[in-house]
């Protein structure tokens, strides 16, 4: 029977997922060729583990993004991620943030007086979505009742069901000025790091909103802060920040135009359940053959 190691911790739900797929949870020994890695925050320890276990052929990583393991994924090993596994809760959160911004909920939640009447409807708005993966596909479904115009900007530019148009990255600047909502849902790569800086924020409409549920480093934080202070855009909602966590006392915390959630688009409880399903899927592939789910492309970085 196939043996799979579970490191550096052994949550029982993940061990059960391995067993449900017909494999044995084992200590890392020369006859163990599969590894489920449970800690995103210890890439150095994973590197050491791989160095000490050259027999490993498959490694399951815990998150959809694999930027923390960028130095490792070029090794001749099948790396799989949680890519697409958390698409539903993250897309749900993105939709909630769009609605909250349009209804000015960040300001109203802190209000102690009646204030002005204000609302921007999501219905028939133009949404520019950056990223063509599972979160985008799920968000396209959620947005369908709102009759929105949706421009997806992705690496491949391949058409997606529910999108009005899908374009390659080199057309982002052309469409930024047409967005009512700009939603970032892309993997963090060299191409997308610092993607939204002062020059791109300046291309957006003063009435536009920015939503980031992907990686904090997509946005240059100081540039966003200045853009909100100077009315360059109407508001922003961030589930991820750079740095993360955003330090207490940072100006964005007190800015009424900015809504920040503490990386809760997918909560630990949701991640645990959904990652267990992915572990079971890929353990079956490892044991019996088939197509990997969430296979990492080392050239693309995700």
Question: Which position among 92, 107, 149, 244 bears the catalytic label?
Answer: 244
Give CA 238 to chain center in angstroms: 12
Question: Which position among 87, 215, 218, 278 bears the catalytic label?
Answer: 215
Structure token digits, residue 178: 């047409």
Q: List CB contacts of 114: < 8 A, sequence separation 6 or more.
A: none
Residues in the chain: 302
| 215 labelled catalytic | yes
Question: Which position among 19, 33, 126, 263 bears the catalytic label?
Answer: 263
Which strands, in side-by-side order, build the sheet including 24-26? 24-26, 3-7, 34-37, 58-60, 78-80
b/e for 62-98, b at 16 or more Cβ within 10 A? bbbbbbbbeebbebebbbbbbbbbbbbbbbbbbbbbb
Contact 193, 217 (CB under 8 A): yes
> Which positions are annotated as active-site residues?
215, 244, 263
């Amino acid at each position: 029977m196939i043996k799979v190691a579970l490191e550096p911790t052994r949550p029982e739900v993940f061990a059960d997922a391995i067993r449900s797929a017909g494999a044995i949870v084992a200590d890392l020994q020369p006859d163990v060729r599969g590894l489920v890695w449970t800690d995103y925050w210890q890439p150095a320890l994973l590197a050491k583990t791989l160095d000490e276990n050259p027999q490993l052929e498959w490694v399951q990583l815990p998150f959809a993004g694999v930027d923390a393991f960028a130095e490792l994924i070029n090794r001749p090993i099948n790396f799989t991620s949680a890519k697409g596994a958390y698409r539903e809760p993250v897309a749900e959160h993105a939709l909630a943030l769009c609605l909250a911004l349009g209804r000015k909920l960040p300001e109203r939640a802190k209000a102690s007086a009646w204030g002005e009447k204000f609302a921007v409807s999501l219905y028939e708005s133009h949404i520019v979505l950056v990223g063509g993966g599972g979160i985008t596909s799920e968000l396209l479904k959620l947005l369908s009742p709102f009759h929105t115009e949706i421009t997806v900007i992705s690496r491949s530019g391949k058409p997606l069901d529910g999108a009005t148009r899908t374009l390659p990255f080199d057309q982002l600047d052309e469409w930024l000025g047409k967005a009512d909502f700009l939603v970032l849902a892309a993997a963090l790569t060299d191409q997308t790091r610092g993607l939204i800086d002062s020059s791109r924020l300046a291309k957006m409409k003063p009435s536009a909103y920015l939503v980031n549920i992907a990686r904090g480093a997509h946005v240059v934080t100081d540039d966003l802060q200045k853009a909100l202070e100077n009315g360059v855009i109407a508001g922003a909602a961030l589930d991820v920040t750079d740095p993360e966590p955003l330090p207490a006392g940072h100006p964005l915390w007190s800015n009424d135009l900015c809504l920040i959630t503490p990386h809760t688009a997918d909560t630990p409880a949701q991640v645990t359940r959904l990652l267990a399903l992915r572990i079971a899927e890929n353990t079956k592939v490892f044991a019996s053959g088939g197509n990997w789910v969430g296979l990492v492309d080392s050239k693309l970085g995700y």
